[in-house]
Amino acid sequence: MSRGTSREVPLFCITPLPGCAVAHFFGTKLSLNINFLLSFAPKPDLTMSDQDNYIIPARFRKMENTHILFWLVKDICWCIGIKWLGIAMIVPTLAIAGIIAWRTRHLISELTHNLAIFFWISANSFWMVTEFAHVDDRLKLYALIPFFAGVVPLVYYYAYYSPRQYLRNKAEMKNSDHRVLSMNPPVADANTGNVARG
């Protein structure tokens, strides 16, 4: 579709609000400029290299999806009181969380968040066991130890690593611009005197 053209789109295709069905029933349609709407969508960064992208192999993605399943089953068992299954789910849930963190150890952004998830599940599991065992409620406070342990890598990432990387990338872009400028110095037009790039 060329820029500036419009397309008739049924109202119910744009938003699921209750009035949409009524509007569609009476044949009401909105004339929308699709290109205008798409201009708000995020654009892919074509300058990014492969090193900037975290590509997950299919077998790792299946493991992450299975991890979510184990995690949900564990918490569902906690809610409805199935003790044996809830406690049994701790092992695969924590194990896969640890494997995921280990496999992303070379990517700081992924490692820090996966470590936070690992400690979160640890604290969550400890809390669940204390409730199943009907022990002193004060023992639940020990769950704060892994909870805070999960905060540590995130604080490191957002307060130190990420700002440092941002400043480093900004400096590299500035240096790159200087190199381009030195390779293509301004050239003055002999007739007009205007400065143009070589």
122-171 per-position pLDDT tens digit: 999 999 999 999 888 888 899 999 999 999 999 999 999 999 999 988 88
Distance CA 4, CA 169 (A): 37
37 or 121: whose pLDDT is higher? Answer: 121
Looking at the structure of the chain, the number of domains it has is 2
CB 79 within 8 A of CB 127: no
Locate tokens 């820090």: which residue? 112
Domain region containing 31: 7-37
What's this model's pTM, rounded to 2 decimal places? 0.62
Distance CA 82, CA 91 (A): 16
104 or 186: whose pLDDT is higher? Answer: 104
For the chain, how far is it from start to end, CA to CA, in angstroms? Answer: 37
Domain membership of residue 45 (yes or no) is no
Domain membership of residue 44 (yes or no) is no
Total residues belonging to the chain: 198
Distance CA 181, CA 73 (A): 59
Mark whether 104 and 14 lie in a shared domain. Answer: no
Mark whether 80 and 154 lie in a shared domain. Answer: yes
pLDDT at 69 over 60: yes
Domain membership of residue 155 (yes or no) is yes
| Mean local confidence (pLDDT), 44-61 | 58
∠ CA 130-132-137, rounded to 5°: 35
What per-residue confidence (pLDDT) applies to 63? 87
Domain membership of residue 43 (yes or no) is no
User: Per DSSP, what are the bridge partners of residue 30?
Assistant: 9
Domain membership of residue 72 (yes or no) is yes
pLDDT band at residue 111 under the 50/70/90 scheme: very high
Mark whether 146 and 177 lie in a shared domain. Answer: yes
Mark whether 78 and 118 lie in a shared domain. Answer: yes
12 or 198: whose pLDDT is higher? Answer: 198
Domain membership of residue 46 (yes or no) is no
